[in-house]
Amino acid sequence: MATPDLNERFSRQVILPSVGMAGQKKWESSTVLLAGEGVTLQAAQKALESTGLSKIIVVDSPPSQLSSFSLAIVVTEKTDLRREISRQLRAQSKPTLFAWLSGSGYSLFLTKHLNGQCPCLECFEVMNPKAFAQAEPTVQRILGAMAASEALLWILNEQSPLEGRVWINSLEEGTSFRHEVRSSPKCPALLLDEGVVVTP
């Protein structure tokens, strides 16, 4: 239960019809797994904490065991970690929001990994191997804040228009597109499930 001080602190968001006391309680009682590092991680963590969501499990390497959480947010720029944790989360049917730097902007993708199945991040990656980029801290901060914002919406509604879709935003051109991510027969995670030896 929030103390009066906390209620005061979060009163501006509690009065939003889309949040309310019920939404505020959902945020305060939720645990998220946050995988990443650097500016993006800090921005995401700060944005999550600013709403009262304080149970954040931060990881910068694949956890040996996944504990209980509402949603995983993966913002790491490390390709190997992103893939490895994606496989872990997929295998355990954990809803996951991926956020990464792309082109002159950033992209987001949310998948529930229903029944431990694709579509997963690697389904997108085999079709778009060059979709991952680097960027300045300014863009990293936007990315972290956007990831947190989408994660908070998902916790409120337990659904999102981003489910099964990648949302690609270019800051230079000012464009924003959403594309469906389909399961790929070439997905390395799927091939591993089928016992095919995959070179990473």
Residues contributing to the site for Zn ion (CB under 5 A):
118, 120, 122-123, 187, 189
> CB 27 → Zn ion: shortest distance, Å?
30
Q: Where are the alpha helices (DSSP H) in the chain?
A: 4-9, 11-14, 20-29, 38-49, 79-91, 121-127, 137-157, 188-193
Q: 3-class DSSP state for residue 167?
A: strand
Radius of gyration, CA atoms only, the chain:
17
User: Which is nearer to Zn ion, 119 or 144 (by Cβ)?
Assistant: 119
> CB 150 → Zn ion: shortest distance, Å?
20
> CB 109 → Zn ion: shortest distance, Å?
11
The CA distance from 143 to 141, in Å, is: 5
User: Which is nearer to Zn ion, 32 or 118 (by Cβ)?
Assistant: 118
User: Which is nearer to Zn ion, 120 or 151 (by Cβ)?
Assistant: 120
Which two three-digit tokens encode residue 77?
């720029």
User: Which is nearer to Zn ion, 85 or 153 (by Cβ)?
Assistant: 85
User: Which is nearer to Zn ion, 153 or 187 (by Cβ)?
Assistant: 187
> CB 97 → Zn ion: shortest distance, Å?
16
> CB 21 → Zn ion: shortest distance, Å?
39
